[in-house]
Structure 1
């Protein structure tokens, strides 16, 4: 029963991301359209550590908050976070759930709302090792 409540909570957090167009979870096709690149770009970028994928409900998604909405390119911190996740054996899903959870480091906002801040990586670093 505790596991079910944990999964319900995770689903609620992921659903909250979908309410913000710049933070929502995108399929590979949606992500490719969002950044105006080829259909295989999301999976190739994820394989190279340039985009963080999220496995959820047997599907792969790509959080839009990894993309600078003005330039339609990944934020500079994405590759660094991808390496940290790999080094810590953490998942993109864990990272995304963290990004969807209000944090005192981000003034009570979710980290996903601050991905364009110049100090995003500095604020996120302390939490990433604990994922």
Structure 2
């Protein structure tokens, strides 16, 4: 998984060079997934559609769901990138285009009680 800087994200989203403020604003609005690593904010590259220069639409819903359930963004990233029984051993990140199914399985996995 690639971890991008705010400047990398600005380029991926085709924002004007140096428009890191807009990138952080998207985070504050819950539209972009970021977490702190080594004193710097990093952005998982999987949340961007390189062809369109847009953020994958399901990301905002995942960020909101994680927040509602008390999950930190870093925990969300770990879940997305780890094999899951809800996906037959596949990683949830490979199912970003299956929004409804991904969100339902995320909620089910995150709220399971043992």
**TM-score (normalised: structure 2):** 0.79
Aligned residue in 1 for 2:66:
85
* Separation in 1, partners of 2:94, 2:76: 14
For residue 80 of structure 2, the aligned residue among 81, 99, 107 is 99
Give the conservation status (yes or no) of the 8 Å contact 2:83–2:92.
Answer: yes
Q: Considering only aligned residues, what root-mean-square deviation do their CA atoms show, in Å?
A: 1.9
Give the drift of 1:129. 4.2
The secondary structure found in structure 2 opposite 1:40 is helix
Change (3 A) 1:129 1:56: farther
Question: Is 1:108 aligned with 2:89?
Answer: yes
Aligned residue in 1 for 2:102:
120
Deviating above 6 A after TM superposition, structure 1's stretches of 4 or more consecutive aligned residues are none
Residue-by-residue CA offset, 1:21-53 (whole Å, 9 max, x unaligned): xxx211111111111123322211000111111
Give the drift of 1:93. 0.5
Count of residue pairs brought into register by the alignment: 108
Structure 2 residue runs without a partner (length 5+): none
Change (3 A) 1:43 1:129: farther
Structure 1 stretch 37-46 or stretch 118-127: which is displaced more?
118-127
Change (3 A) 1:74 1:97: same
Structure 1 residue runs without a partner (length 5+): 1-16, 18-23
* Separation in 2, partners of 1:94, 1:111: 13
The secondary structure found in structure 2 opposite 1:62 is strand
Residue-by-residue CA offset, 1:9-28 (whole Å, 9 max, x unaligned): xxxxxxxx2xxxxxx21111
